[in-house]
Structure 1
Amino acid sequence: MGWFGGKTKDAESTTTTTTGALPVVPGYLAGTWTIDASHSEVSFTVRHMAVSKVRGRLGSVSGEIVTSQDPAGSAVTAEVDVTTVTTFNEQRDGHIKSGDFFEIENHPTASFRSTSLTHDGDDFVLTGDLTLKGVTKPITLGLEVSGFGPDAYGGTRAGFSAKGTINRRDFGLSFDAKLDNGGLVVSDKVDLELDIEAVLNA
């Protein structure tokens, strides 16, 4: 499946989705799946000083995916341990964990609960509620189903990837340092990317 993520806009823009029959996924399996934390991650990218990008990673993801007989009824709930955030720079990571950004002492986790699965042409569109720093807002993700198949241990696995964009200020991440030219040290726009592997429950 192609990406819808390239068309995902900020909160001021709109996208067109379709609620009819979803695209067919080869090998599709209905069931309840547990997210494999050791093979899943959430990453993000922000623009720094208006000239470069900083990439970060949240490695501890848990939750459940339900693939319904009618794919439109599928759902996901997930939780991310925000204390695991890393940008591979200790000083910067300390700042990101502070009250200027994640405030991990009071908000150690973020969560996502889907509310609908639709499509735009051949591309899946996953909508849900993201809770970050105690604030819950709807977001839209372009979803790619990587596939379903057996693993090396006699089980069955599924892979999913998703992309989207949020405005960090919508969630209270309001660090506001400015450059001499008036630009932001850290962009408001944050690009999200998720790679999820899940195991079919027995």
Structure 2
Amino acid sequence: MTAELVEIPGYIAGTWIIDPLHTNVGFTIRHLMVSRVRGRFGTLEGTVVTGDDPLGSSVTATIDLASIDTGIAQRDEHVRSADFLDVEKYPTMTYRSTGVRPGGDGFVLDGELTLRGMTRQVPLDLEVGGFGPDPFREDDPFKGARAGFTATGEISRLEFGVGDTAKVPGGNGLGLSDKVQIILEIQASLQTA
């Protein structure tokens, strides 16, 4: 598939810097098999390169694991500990795309996630939110254009050595599900300098 066959209104090829103030890196995990816990990471940086052909695009991102926020400080401290993310030893997780392909109603972003020193393939369903002017940020060194993307996927926390396999008392499910849903809402500024 070429750019002529991929119709993205207002598409702009270029290098984009992820705007952490307008980006959300969220996750959801089942707890005790009866409810879901949601959280997010507040500190990140990254670059999106949109190619002349959208299928030639790429993404790199680094997330500060200490910036986890589930809304409960005590839980956040536990998740930062060696029991889970071990942020003292592994302060960041990174994502590096390896390809883009058509998929579903949008695209699939293939890539490698590195967490706790382990790298695994993690494909993300990708929706292009759009491209447009950025008329409100005269002080922005990257002013000129904004782009938005939504990416969703799933990882196995156990494949990355995060947490344990403790069972729900009296039940046969894990206290914390192995599968973690990932929800990314990305806004980026076109780099013009």
Residue of structure 1 equivalent to 2:74 = 91
Residue of structure 1 equivalent to 2:103 = 120
2:172 equivalent to 1:188: no
Residue of structure 2 equivalent to 1:7 = none
Tell me, in whole angstroms, the C-alpha distance in 2 between the residues paired with 1:147 and 1:101: 36
Contact 2:6 2:54 in 1 (8 A): no
**3-state DSSP of counterpart to 2:122:** strand
Contact 1:125 1:141 in 2 (8 A): yes
23, 29, 35: which one pairs with 2:6? 23
Please tell me the root mean square deviation across aligned C-alpha atoms, in Å: 1.2
One-letter code aligned to 1:128: G
Q: Percent of aligned positions with the same letter in both sequences?
A: 50
Tell me, in whole angstroms, the C-alpha distance in 2 between the residues paired with 1:121 and 1:182: 34
41, 48, 58: which one pairs with 1:65? 48
C-alpha distance after superposition, 1:132-176 (max 9, x if no partner): 111110111000111111111252110111000111011111322
Contact 1:23 1:122 in 2 (8 A): no
118, 138, 148: which one pairs with 1:159? 148
Residue of structure 2 equivalent to 1:142 = 125
Tell me, in whole angstroms, the C-alpha distance in 2 between the residues paired with 1:121 and 1:43: 22
Contact 1:100 1:173 in 2 (8 A): yes
Contact 1:143 1:161 in 2 (8 A): yes
Residue of structure 1 equivalent to 2:27 = 44
Q: How many residues align?
A: 183
C-alpha distance after superposition, 1:18-69 (max 9, x if no partner): xx34631111000001111111121000000100000011011211110010
Residue of structure 2 equivalent to 1:131 = 114
Gaps of 5+ in 2: 138-142
Gaps of 5+ in 1: 1-19
Instruction: Give, in angstroms, the shift of residue 121 of structure 1.
Output: 4.5
**3-state DSSP of counterpart to 2:10:** coil
Residue of structure 2 equivalent to 1:15 = none
**Moved segments of 4+, more than 4 Å:** none
Worse overlay, 139-148 or 172-181:
172-181
C-alpha distance after superposition, 1:46-99 (max 9, x if no partner): 000100000011011211110010111100111101100011111111111111
Indicate the structure whose relative CO is greater, using CA pairs within 8 Å and at least 6 residues apart: 1
Question: Closer, same or farther in 2 for the Cα pair 1:137/1:50, shift >3 Å?
Answer: same
**3-state DSSP of counterpart to 2:12:** coil
TM-score of the pair, normalised by structure 2 = 0.91
Contact 1:83 1:104 in 2 (8 A): yes
**3-state DSSP of counterpart to 2:96:** strand
Tell me, in whole angstroms, the C-alpha distance in 2 between the residues paired with 1:164 and 1:129: 12
Worse overlay, 178-187 or 100-109:
178-187
One-letter code aligned to 2:42: G
